[in-house]
Structure 1
Amino acid sequence: MIAPVYLGSNQPPDRFYRGGEKIRALRGTAAPGDRVPEDWIASTTTLFGEPETGLSRLPDGRRLVDAVTADPGAWLGPEHVAVWGADTKLLVKLLDAGQRLPVHLHPARPFVQEYLERRHGKAEAWYILDGGEVHLGFKRDVDRAELDAWVAGQDVEAMLGAMHRLEVAPGDSVFVPPGLPHAIGAGVFIVEVQEPEDLSILLEWKGFAIDGEAEGHLGLGFGTALVAADLRGWPADGIRQLVIRQGLGAGTLADLSRKYFRAERLDVSGSTTLDAGFSVLVVVDGAGTLEPANAPASPLAKGDTLAVPFTAGSLAVTGQLSLVCCRPPLPSEGA
């Protein structure tokens, strides 16, 4: 049996937007500086174009991806392995937006299979720890020529003006389908669950520490990259279906996300049991203990992050705490 593994912070350095203070506050310790706004948890994914950066390491120094590849059944379970092999189907992050993120989008699987020969697109969802403003999808149909002009001229005011603006609060969640333009506002702090790829297409880069003209299109050129954009006008009620207000348990994320990943917030006051299966745990408040079916109990505290293998079995969680439990899709439901 492999026991749950406590993971230290894993923060790619020198990102093009600011943040990191809220990750340090949650964890108690993390990378210094103001351009470490992401903590990649239980990551088997590298930054786009990088051979190593982004991969999580276990306390014994091994890369998690190597451990999973060596014994996928123990980590992921036989049903998962029968469908997807050693692919975890999951990447979890802490993201601290020290400034508003640029308007951007992530491509869907058919696009990346055709143009990038990648296994996954990048759907994502945000569980909100600290709230604020987000922009999500266009309010009206946008012509491709219009989008091209906005991007070439960096007309950020026009882009944001055409998008839905939402206020989100702690305990809310937002599902972002592939292709949907979006931006996370300054001060928003999230647990992000996503498909395990680092694939972003920038619509905006003015004022950010990145050369968007050179780096904003995944090496494809904007003529091709922007084919991935969802240019449809989304009605307000359609956007509302992506947002869950104060969701708990199975209702933490919008149902539309289930084919990509699962995540649920659990508020424990006393005890509860987590079903067996590969998962990534993020303790967002409080303290307690975690006890696998066949191993001694270990402490849990605010800021802890853990990778839980299938062979750990069901887990008893006791105490007064809140955690987010992130999992890959069910083999019967996954994309």
Structure 2
Amino acid sequence: MNKPFLLKPAAKDYLWGGNRLNEEFAKEIDAEPLAETWECSTHPDGLSVVSTGIFYGKSLHEVLSEHKEYLGTHPLATFQQSAAGQLPILIKFIDANKDLSVQVHPTDEYAGKNEDGQLGKTEMWYVLDAKLGASLVYGLSQSVAREEMEIALDKGDVEKYLQKVPVKKNDVFNIEAGTIHAIGAGVLVAEIQENSNLTYRLYDYDRTDKNGKKRELHIKKGLDVADLNKATEPRQPLRVLRYQQGVARELLSRCKYFEVYRMIVNTERRQKVTFKSDELSFRVLLCVNGCGTISFEEEQLQIYKGDCLFIPADSVEMRLHGKMQFLDVRC
């Protein structure tokens, strides 16, 4: 039977990042700022690395290239990139100390035709924390013609068209490809997305990087894929916690690319919680709070806030003990 293993993330020092991932999630990464950690990634722009077990020191990409059965038999798990050891998804922590750029992601179809066969990017955000008054951009507050948007972007007054939405801890947002969006300052999120790093930056507040250079914009491609119609205001989905002995679960998001559940474990009274993956899909547990242990066969892993556990398809049965919260991600 297949055994789970912990992952060490790749890090990104984008100019809008902060230091919360080191301070609150004990990442111990030498990056200033630390904007993103790619916790579960086979993308060549940021590979996560196995940090426990027999594959210690290998990239997740290497492991999946050697063990394709770890992906499972679900159609997404066996999509065209799996032969090269690629996951269909990518999981991140994002610390927005400053506003992210106003951006948009392409669909699979557009990316396949215009970006050498790459995937597009639909994503989901789970808000881990948000400062008082924090917000994010979700689509447009009014419909606008492409020509008008081009003028607004050129003049730097595009914000008048953006729909800004207040955000608080525990909120969920689904961002379909083509939606203009941006995470606002003071927001800390976990992001689950397609396995893509395609971002078309439309507006960046006229900022410069540490070398004094403005970051590249992608106006033409961005407007090719952007939905310029008035967006509906995002509403938080109906979420129902389902309780069993020692654990509660709720569905956060489901789309054709992934499913995400929140799992709350509390076995301080010694309840037994068992957990495994079936043959259909791998699973990823991203610990967003608390600590505990995961035991299987004769082994035991210590789990802390910020840790990411990869569980191959058709895994051994595991026992969870402690007080912790996970995002449980699968295809």
Letter in 1 for 2:217: G
1:36-71 deviations in whole A, cap 9, x for unaligned? Answer: 210001211133xxxxxx111223322211210121
Q: Give the residue type in structure 1 aligned to 2:323.
A: Q
2:258 pairs with 1:261: yes
Match of 1:286 among 260, 282, 290: 290
CA 1:227–1:174 in 2, change beyond 3 Å: closer, same or farther?
A: same
How far the C-alpha of 1:250 sits from its partner, in A, is 4.5
3-state SS in 2 of match to 1:24:
helix
Structure-2 separation of matches of 1:198 and 1:79: 23
Gaps of 5+ in 1: 48-53, 330-335
CA distance 1:275–1:162, shift in 2 (3 Å)? farther
Q: Which moved more, 1:226-235 or 1:315-324?
A: 315-324
Amino acid in the other structure paired with 2:63: A
| TM-fit CA distance, 1:297 | 3.2
Q: 1:274 to 1:174 in 2, by over 3 A?
A: farther
Q: Which moved more, 1:276-285 or 1:105-114?
A: 276-285
Larger relative strand fraction: 2
Aligned mates of 1:82, 1:145 — CA distance in 2: 41
- Paired residue for 1:307? 310
What is the rounded CA distance, in whole Å, between the counterparts of 1:287 and 1:63 in structure 2? 25
In the other structure, the counterpart of 2:324 is 321
For residues 275 and 233 of structure 1, the distance between their equivalents in structure 2, rounded to whole angstroms, comes to 43
* Equivalent residue number for residue 48 of structure 2: 56
CA distance in 1: counterparts of 2:121 and 2:2, whole angstroms: 29
Q: Pairwise mapping of residues 182-197 of structure 1 onto structure 2 (< 5 A)?
A: 182-197=181-196
Q: Do the aligned partners of 2:41 and 2:91 also contact (CA within 8 Å) in 1?
A: yes
Please say if residues 138 and 231 of structure 2, whose CA atoms lie closer than 8 Å, have aligned partners that are also in contact: no
- Can you list the C-alpha shifts for 1:152-174, whole angstroms capped at 9, x where unaligned? 2222xxx3332222222221111
Give the secondary-structure state (helix, strand or coil) at the position aligned to 1:299: strand
The equivalent residue for 1:143 is 145
Q: Shift of the alpha carbon at 1:296?
A: 2.8
| Structure 1 position 244 matched with structure 2 position 243 | no
Q: 1:314 to 1:145 in 2, by over 3 A?
A: farther
* Separation in 1, partners of 2:316, 2:144: 49
- Give the structure-1-normalised TM-score: 0.83
Summarize the alignment of residues 145-294 of structure 1 with structure 2, pairs less than 5 Å apart: 145-155=147-157, 159-205=158-204, 206-209=206-209, 211-212=214-215, 215-217=216-218, 222-236=219-233, 239-240=234-235, 243-244=236-237, 249-253=249-253, 255=254, 258-270=255-267, 271-276=272-277, 277-292=281-296, 294=297
The code of the aligned residue for 1:43 comes to S
**How large is the Cα RMSD of the aligned pairs?**
2.2
Distance in 2 between residues matched to 1:98 and 1:309, nearest whole Å: 34
Greater CA drift, 223-232 or 311-320: 311-320
CA distance change for structure 1 residues 148 and 314 in 2, over 3 Å: closer, same or farther?
farther
* 1:127 matches 2:119: no
Gaps of 5+ in 2: 242-248
CA shift, 1:295, in A, is: 5.0
Q: Could you tell me whether the CA contact under 8 Å between 2:79 and 2:88 is conserved in 1?
A: no
Matches within 5 A, 1:13-32: 14-19=13-18, 21-32=19-30
User: Hey, which of these two has a bigger chunk of helix by percent?
Assistant: 1
Identity among equivalent pairs (%): 26
1:72 aligned partner: 68
1:89 deviation in Å?
A: 0.8
Count of aligned pairs: 302
* Structure 2 residue aligned with 1:94: 93
Superposition TM-score, scaled by structure 2 size: 0.83
Provide, for residues 291-330 of structure 1, a one-character-per-residue CA deviation record: whole Å limited to 9, x for no partner: 34x4533222222222221142443322211111222x3x
Residues 103 and 222 in structure 2, CA contact (< 8 A), matched pair in contact too? no
Q: Which residue of 2 aligns with 1:41?
A: 39
Partners of 1:216 and 1:274 in 2: CA distance: 45
Secondary structure (helix, strand or coil) at the match of 1:317 reads: strand
Q: Which amino acid aligns with 1:227?
A: D
Whole-angstrom CA distance in 2 between matches of 1:315 and 1:141: 50
